[in-house]
Amino acid sequence: MSDGFGLDHLPYGVFSTQGSAPRVGVRYADTVVDVATVRPELDRPRLNDFMGLGPAAWAETHGRIAELVDSDALPAYPLDDVALHLPFTVGDYVDFYASLDHASNVGRIFRPDQEPLLPNWRHLPVGYHGRGGTVVVSGTPVVRPCGQRKAPTEEAPAYGPSRRLDIEAELGFVVGVGSELGARIGVDEFEQHVFGVVGVNDWSARDIQAWEYVPLGPFLGKSFATSVSAWVTPLAALASARTHVPAQDPAPLPYLAGSDRWALDVEVEVVLNGEVVSRPSYRTMYWSPAQMLAHLTVNGASTRTGDLFASGTISGPEPDTRGSFLELSWGGKEPFAGGHTFLEDGDEVVLRYSSPAPDGGRITLGDVVGRIEPARP
């Protein structure tokens, strides 16, 4: 298979056919293969029971599925004939801010006369705790949020629909095996806990966010919707995509300094109404996914099966590698793509992801699709 969904990939999702209950399937080419009979934990409406089994079960099961798919021993359905559902029940959701280029761009936009990075940024993976209940599967419409907003030229805040609705092209990591309260997950223990990877669009209302986030951080400007792909790529399928994070200066503190500080060579396309407007690459990220998880738990915070943590906006050093409209329009001052600065009602955004495959080809990760609907009264 050369379409990115071959035997070396087989990402997991949850699907249903007309009149049937949701259960686990894998994507193979343009079909969904029903794997519910392979083991009892896959005959479920979510992946959580299977993800909680751990790496040995993941590897054994995925190998068995590959054999059965290769021999046409399992039922398969055309992709267009099934409904796709949120693949896992989301526990907690944490979003990081791991791109040096994104953080620097945002600093230059909002603090042009100061150092772009705040003093803590190179010492720890900065993040915020989001809202797991508003994580939705790709294809779910996104309703323009309302809230308080105050432009710099306005004397007082007003309530109304966001006027600066944005995207954030990200990569997400799904916890399979959780950790107890008071325990820590070390950098080198990442693969014992993380099941797989999803595409993420962390929709952001920049005007609501700008008014509310001082002094406690993002809240309503982020919590209204986060979209994830319908397919979860097993971490093992990305072995050929591993690369090194950039040199970290200053050297991270010991709990962030394990040997497992790899990044992933994942290319992203940001598509607005059918036009590619940006091509960021995850391999430019400063903080590794293992460092993010280590920092998330260093204070003893527990994790659960289905917890999701994301990278934050993926941006590169060039203008055409920026992963948010905030950056692409440079704070709304430089329209792009036929006059866009931020999202308009009716806009559709598609995030596409790909990475190297073991055979020298490409793996195609699941798309993340969202269309903006008008604010509700």
Mean of the per-residue pLDDT values of the chain: 96
Looking at the predicted structure, is the pLDDT value of residue 1 above 60? no
pLDDT band at 2 (very low <50, low <70, confident <90, very high): very low
Average pLDDT over residues 242-267: 91
pLDDT at site 121: 98
**Is a pLDDT exceeding 90 seen at residue 358?**
no
What is the predicted pLDDT for the residue at 259? 78
Rounded CA separation 142/238 (Å):
30
Residues 52-70 have a mean pLDDT of 98
**Residues 19-47 pLDDT 10s:** 999 999 999 999 999 999 999 999 999 99
261 or 205, higher pLDDT: 205
| The two domains 12-85 and 93-373 share their CATH topology (first three levels equal) | no
| pLDDT recorded at residue 359 | 82
- pTM strictly above 0.75: yes
Is 102 labeled as catalytic in the residue annotation? Answer: yes
Q: Which of 9, 62, 85, 102 is catalytic?
A: 102
Mean pLDDT of 339-351: 98
pLDDT at 316: 95
What is the average per-residue pLDDT within 252-269?
Answer: 91
Domain boundaries 93-373, CATH class? alpha beta
- Domain ranges in the chain are 12-85, 93-373
Domain at 12-85, CATH homologous superfamily: Fumarylacetoacetase, N-terminal domain (2.30.30.230)
pLDDT tens digit string along 166-180? 999 999 999 999 999
**What is the 3-class SS of the chain, one letter each residue?**
CCCCCCCCCCCEEEEECCCCCCEEEEEECCEEEECCCCCHHHCCCCCHHHHCCCHHHHHHHHHHHHHHHHCCCCCEEEHHHCEEECCCCCCCEEEECCCHHHHHHHHHHHCCCCCCCCCCCCCCCCEEECCHHHEEECCCCEECCEEEECCCCCCCCEEEECCCEECCEEEEEEECCCECCCCCCCHHHHHHCEEEEEEEECCEEHHHHHHHCCCCCCCCCCCCCEEECCCEEEHHHHHHHEEECCCCCCCCCHHHCCCCCEEECCEEEEEECCEEEECCEHHHCCCCHHHHHHHHHCCCCCECCCCEEECCCCCCCCHHHCCCHHHHCCCCCCCECCCECCCCCCCEEEEEEEEECCCCCEEEEEEEEEEEECCCC
188-234 per-position pLDDT tens digit: 999 999 999 999 999 999 999 999 999 999 999 999 999 999 999 99
